[in-house]
């Protein structure tokens, strides 16, 4: 038996040290180091060589002799999940899913597992009993004879059951509740999370079985556990949304098998998560009368065009320092656009409170909504509603110019599909599309002051 090994970990960020430190060099927090046992001397041997009947030989091989295999994917019935993963679940991949408590992570993946009727799925739960999961499954109104449950937290017992069942898909809820006998520390600690994730990673790669790890997040919004957890997995998904809204967004933070720009939108219903196929309709408020301070932006999230509503409110400041409040948008970007309006347009925002909101609880970083933000601010500033059935797509530069944006044809087509009559774009986008292909009127402008004169 080898010697027992210990190390010190920062409980805040997961930084590892061979000795105790008062201040963490990584996150600069004080008194966060705790001692944990890394190795009790047990042999870490995984006997997955005969899992699918053929022994897997590990040997050195030249890159030119490696045979290229087609990527095998499991297509789920959930079109949004398929889009976010890049076309389906890649066999042998390990996927980490994180989100706020109660946001619907367990419901989403229980629902998807139940709908895969032709695949043997094992759902490992360390947080809920079989009765609780059965109650949720009854609420989802989906049945599956190939769906199996295991409520266990010790990885050695879990892998014994996996050897007996030989599932084709594994869902672990959650990785923070698992515990390995090879590590002498409590579940959820840095070393336990790392060791349990490493065991499932070895299992996934050697048996070619996809594994979903559902994870917790900290109060700062980061994924709980060491940063190495995100490096070990193939894909990191973030499930987010405001619990006061019915809509949830599944984002990709890391994906070795597809784009990280995709997102999926769901609606939380009494019967589970419903994929939203046309999110533009739900993100635009249906109102009977035109009000000032509202503009529609034609944005892109990955390969999907979205029309989102930007709402602005500009009022006289009561206090000494004007307020700048945003929801779903970058505050620094708003301050930049206000500076452009003051310098290049002569509008006095310095003594006014400015509030900006992206309707529907959506968070966006697409620079192409700059023009819609500018127009919403000017509309509220002048207290004049913008013309009906008009939308915007353009980035605003520091000199007040309207810059070209990518995928302009898809944005115009989405606006036309939803019944808009005009779209204002950058004059420098003229080469990117042909007016004759669209029935919608495309207005090309070069500067912010031209937009102001055109609208007001």
The per-residue pLDDT for range 160-180, each reduced to its tens digit, is 999 999 999 999 998 999 998
Q: Is the pLDDT at 229 greater than 80, yes or no?
A: yes
Q: Is the pLDDT at 53 greater than 60, yes or no?
A: no
pLDDT at res. 187: 85
Over range 18-35, report the average pLDDT.
88
pLDDT at res. 222: 82
Lowest mean pLDDT among 99-103, 148-152, 206-210, 245-249: 245-249
pLDDT at res. 56: 58
- Count CB atoms within 10 A of the CB of residue 135: 12
pLDDT at res. 315: 93
What's the Rg (C-alpha) of the chain? Answer: 26
pLDDT at res. 215: 92
Over range 319-338, report the average pLDDT.
91
**In sequence order, what DSSP letters do the residues of 246-267 get, joined into one string?**
SEEEEEEEEETTS-SS-EEEEE
Q: Is the pLDDT at 50 greater than 80, yes or no?
A: no
Over range 279-297, report the average pLDDT.
79
Lowest mean pLDDT among 37-51, 259-273, 286-300: 37-51
pLDDT at res. 52: 57
Residue 195 known to bind ligand: no
Report percent pLDDT > 70 for the chain: 93
Alpha-carbon distance 206 to 320, whole Å?
Answer: 64
What DSSP element (H or E) covers 449? helix 448-455
pLDDT at res. 54: 52
Alpha-carbon distance 177 to 172, whole Å?
Answer: 9
pLDDT at res. 337: 95
Q: Report yes or no: 399 and 449 within 8 Å, Cβ to Cβ.
A: no
Residue 102 known to bind ligand: yes
Residue 210 known to bind ligand: no
Residue 101 known to bind ligand: yes
**In sequence order, what DSSP letters do the residues of 377-389 get, joined into one string?**
HHHHHHT-PPPTT
Q: Is the pLDDT at 420 greater than 80, yes or no?
A: yes
Q: Is the pLDDT at 302 greater than 50, yes or no?
A: yes
What DSSP element (H or E) covers 409? helix 408-417
Residue 1 binned pLDDT confidence (cut-offs 50, 70, 90): very low
The per-residue pLDDT for range 178-190, each reduced to its tens digit, is 998 887 778 888 8
Mean per-residue pLDDT of the chain = 87
Alpha-carbon distance 398 to 383, whole Å?
Answer: 25
Report percent pLDDT > 90 for the chain: 48
Lowest mean pLDDT among 9-13, 26-30, 313-317, 447-451: 9-13
Residues 6+ apart with CB under 8 A from 395: 367, 368, 370, 371, 402, 403, 404, 405, 426
Q: Is the pLDDT at 330 greater than 80, yes or no?
A: yes
What is the chain's length? 456
Q: Is the pLDDT at 57 greater than 70, yes or no?
A: no
The bridge status of strand 94-99 relative to strand 147-150 is unpaired
What DSSP element (H or E) covers 212? strand 211-215
Alpha-carbon distance 104 to 95, whole Å?
Answer: 17
Residues 6+ apart with CB under 8 A from 359: 283, 284, 285, 308, 309, 310, 311
Lowest mean pLDDT among 131-140, 177-186, 348-357: 177-186
Lowest mean pLDDT among 11-25, 53-67, 143-157: 53-67
Alpha-carbon distance 175 to 192, whole Å?
Answer: 9
Return the residue matching tokens 């299992």: 203
Residue 228 known to bind ligand: no
Among 169, 32, 45, 59, CA closest to 114 = 169
Strand ranges (E), 40-85: 73-74
Among 375, 212, 236, CA closest to 309 = 375
pLDDT at res. 382: 93
pLDDT at res. 341: 93
Residue 205 known to bind ligand: no
Residues 6+ apart with CB under 8 A from 94: 197, 200, 201, 204, 205, 210, 211, 213, 232, 233, 234, 235
Phi-psi region of 41 (alpha: psi -120 to 50; beta: other; left: phi over 0): left
Residues 6+ apart with CB under 8 A from 209: 91, 92, 167, 168, 169, 170, 203
Order of strands across the sheet that contains 352-358: 324-327, 352-358, 304-316, 294-301, 390-393, 422-426, 441-445
Q: How far is CA 259 from the centre of its chain?
A: 12
Distances (CA, A) of 403 to 369, 392, 449: 11, 12, 14
Q: Is the pLDDT at 286 greater than 70, yes or no?
A: no
Q: Is the pLDDT at 38 greater than 70, yes or no?
A: no
pLDDT at res. 244: 67
Show the domains of the chain with their CATH numbers. Answer: 1-42 (2.20.28), 44-57+73-277 (3.40.50.300), 282-455 (3.30.230.10)
pLDDT at res. 49: 54
Selection from 341-350, 368-377, 437-446 with the highest mean pLDDT: 368-377
């Amino acid at each position: 038996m080898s010697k027992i090994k210990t190390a010190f970990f920062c409980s805040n960020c997961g930084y590892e040290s061979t000795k105790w430190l008062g201040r963490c060099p990584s996150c600069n927090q004080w008194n966060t180091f705790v001692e944990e046992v890394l190795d009790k001397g047990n042999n870490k041997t995984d006997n997955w060589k005969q899992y699918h009947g053929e022994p897997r030989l590990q040997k050195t091989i030249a890159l030119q002799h490696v045979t290229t295999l087609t990527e095998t994917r499991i297509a789920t019935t959930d079109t949004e999940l398929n889009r976010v993963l890049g076309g389906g679940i890649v066999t042998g991949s390990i996927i980490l899913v994180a989100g706020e408590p109660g946001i619907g992570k367990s419901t989403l993946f229980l629902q998807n597992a139940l709908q895969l009727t032709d695949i043997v799925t094992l759902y490992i739960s360390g947080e809920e009993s079989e009765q609780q999961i059965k109650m949720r499954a009854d609420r989802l109104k989906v049945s599956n004879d190939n769906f199996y449950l295991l409520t266990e937290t010790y990885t050695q017992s879990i892998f014994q059951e996996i050897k007996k069942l030989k599932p084709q898909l594994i869902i672990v809820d959650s990785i923070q509740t698992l515990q390995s006998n090879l590590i002498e520390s409590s579940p959820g600690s840095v070393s336990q999370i790392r060791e349990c994730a490493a065991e499932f990673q070895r299992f996934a790669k050697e048996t070619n079985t996809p594994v979903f790890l559902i994870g917790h997040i900290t109060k700062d919004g980061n994924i709980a556990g060491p940063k190495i957890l995100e490096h070990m997995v193939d894909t990191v998904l973030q499930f987010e949304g405001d619990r006061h809204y019915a809509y949830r967004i599944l984002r990709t933070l890391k994906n070795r098998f597809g784009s990280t720009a995709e997102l999926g939108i769901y609606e939380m219903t009494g019967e589970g998560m419903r994929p939203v196929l046309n999110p533009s309709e739900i993100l635009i408020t249906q109102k009977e009368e035109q009000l000032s301070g509202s503009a529609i932006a034609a944005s892109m999230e990955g390969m999907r065009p979205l029309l989102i509503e930007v709402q602005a409110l500009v009022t006289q400041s009561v206090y000494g320092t004007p307020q700048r409040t945003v929801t779903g948008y970058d505050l620094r970007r708003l301050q930049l656009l206000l500076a452009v309006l003051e310098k290049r347009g002569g509008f006095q925002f310095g003594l006014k409170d400015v509030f900006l909101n992206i309707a529907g609880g959506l968070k966006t970083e697409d620079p192409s909504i700059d023009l819609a933000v500018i127009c919403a601010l000017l509309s509220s500033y002048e207290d004049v509603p913008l013309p009906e059935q008009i939308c915007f797509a353009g980035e605003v530069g520091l000199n007040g110019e309207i810059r070209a944006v990518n995928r302009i044809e898809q944005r115009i087509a989405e606006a036309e599909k939803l019944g808009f009559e005009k779209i204002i774009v950058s004059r420098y986008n003229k080469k990117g599309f042909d007016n004759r292909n669209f029935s919608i009127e495309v207005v090309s402008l070069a500067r912010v002051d031209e937009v102001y004169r055109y609208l007001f």
